Structure 1
Amino acid sequence: MTESRPGRIPVGDPIALRFDPETKHRLDEMAEGLGPRRFGALIRVACRRLVTQPKAVRNRLEEARRLSAVRRAIPLVMLTLKLEPDTVQKFTALAVEYDTTVSALVRIALHRFLETPGRYKHPMLREAEWTGLSEKVEVMVNPSAKQQIWRLAGRHGTSLGTALLRVALRRLLDKPGDLATDLETIAPLRDLRPEIFPARVNVHFDAPLRDSLDGLAARVGSDRAELMRLAAERVLEAPGMIEQAVNREIFRSEKNRAHLMARHVRRQARRRTQPD
């Protein structure tokens, strides 16, 4: 239910926001410098600025996601494969043709296979009996891909993981498809750790502001929580006339504005003269 106090902006139901600890600490410091109980108003000001000045929001979101993915990337793991010399030569030639690595081709092969495994049992069992695997090749793959391959292979016996890997590789050689595109979009993919924002705070939002955020989120392919974090980052980077904006956010009533502003100035003066 929406409630309001005389001279203050009506606020709606609280929304739980989550930040990383450093951002939350910086927001707390900024809000504390503006006066008591200013955190919610600070966040609302930041969000109003975002929805009224949405320039470059899409680019900022893409950059934030890219940096987040870099921070959360899980290292690749090494696999040693045994292949016949002819297959090794084919993969090496394919890597040279596309100016890439055998590891990148293997990651694409695993990705394609895991998307559509199809009927793999009998080809895998035939691979397990293959002879002439005299060449060793070391490749780097995502841990999750290895785990999924081993899990699929384990449905039909033990020690079949590398055999199923070879099935995936031979499929790639038989049908290379659009490798140029896959090298740009699939080969660079990494397993990611979950994105965790442990610092939580509830902030009240009036319905129009909440709806504006949701509308902007729909236009840029985001959500309310991600936009609020972007808004917080922008206000920390460029606060501008933040104290005046926060005061306007809090002191809405024209009738009581002068009285409330004067009281705010007196409180701020007392706070600044008090010894630490």
Structure 2
Amino acid sequence: MSLDGAVPWDDRGLTLGDGLFETLLARGGQLVAFEAHLARLVAGCGVLGLPAPEAAAARQACEAALAEAGLGAARAAVRLTLTAGSGGRGLDRPPSLAPRLFATAAAAPRPATPARLAIAATRRNDASPAARLKTLAYLDNILARREAQAAGADEAVMLNTRGEVACAAVANLIWRRDGRLFTPALGCGVLDGIVRRGLLAAARDAGEAIAEVAVGRAALDAADAIVLTNSLVGVRPVDALDGRALQSGELAETLARLVEPLIQGASADPDRLSSPSR
């Protein structure tokens, strides 16, 4: 497992998107939910047939990236990247893989405003195993985000090939309708988000379950509140969907209070965030 930060021209992550990544939040030099992110990366390695990195090497790479960027005391995003290593021309991997592991860090202030969403025409391929992994191939997400921005929004909502609500370009979705909470099921081509998973567990423990559903965009059109969740923003309210105003601040605050203790305690109880959601 190479820890060299230099990526050569024949690296399969660069040429073919053959690899995985995780984006972690760091606060005051502490990696939030590191064990949960590593567990998801390791599970993804199993699906792609890649050797998984050692926990110590992964943590060392993340902490070194924070130090090198001078962000030890800041709120920062740490990206841990694993590629299949060098491989030459063509699709076939070399007989002996030498994966490349490296990390980068950048400042990540919390968004100061709610998000505005737009439904993108670019679809999420729910039939692909990669739809449920954080692979290096993010072109569909990039195109969806560009569509949303061209429409005057901040973030895209992606439907899958069946027309079901899947996710935002870089976040999971949760919405409220008639007092009930919903989120797209993983079978819709959804990434098993760390915050999403924590909220499912916390809501279940609080006796107010979040239903995992496979529904069309009409479900979002009927929602009175929508939030985005991911490891960097936590829970972010949405104040507009395709120009329709929403009041999501109260829901975002409620869900943020639910998930924060789980995230804070993830190092002590990693199974709460690293076990598959039910």
Q: What band does the TM-score fall into relative to the shorter chain?
A: under 0.3
Report the structure, 1 or 2, having the larger helix content: 1
- Which protein shows a greater Rg? 1
Report the structure, 1 or 2, having the larger strand content: 2
TM-score calculated relative to the size of structure 2: 0.21
TM-score calculated relative to the size of structure 1: 0.21
